Amino acid sequence: MKRPSKEPFPRYRVGDLIKDTEHGDLGVVVKYVGIDEENYDNYYILNMFGKTEWFSRGYIEEFCEIVSECK
């Protein structure tokens, strides 16, 4: 697995609709916490089943892609 981007800003923003490229699951970025620790869960995602869950920046930025970008 690739390490998370060292960019100061997250790749995805609050409101972006993203998709897991392996499983096809959809979710909306609800919150991002900018703490730069390897195992820290930075992204709070509302999934397609109405549940929210925290995910690491490494997972989201490596295995997900934007379906619809928030403007």
**Structural domain boundaries of the chain?**
17-68
Please give the pLDDT value at position 40.
Answer: 79
- Residue 1: band (very low, low, confident or very high) from pLDDT cuts 50, 70, 90: very low
Of 58 and 28, which is predicted with more confidence?
A: 28
Structure tokens given for 29: 């970025």
Statement: the pTM of the whole predicted model exceeds 0.85: no
**4-47 per-position pLDDT tens digit:** 455 556 788 999 999 999 999 999 999 988 776 666 788 999 99
CATH number (1.10.3470, 2.40.50, 2.60.40, 2.30.30) of 17-68 reads: 2.30.30
Cα dist from 35 to 22, 30, 45, 62, whole Å: 26, 16, 16, 17
Please give the pLDDT value at position 26.
Answer: 96
CB contact set of 53 (below 8 Å; sequence gap of 6+)? 44, 45, 47
Distance CA 33, CA 64 (A): 18
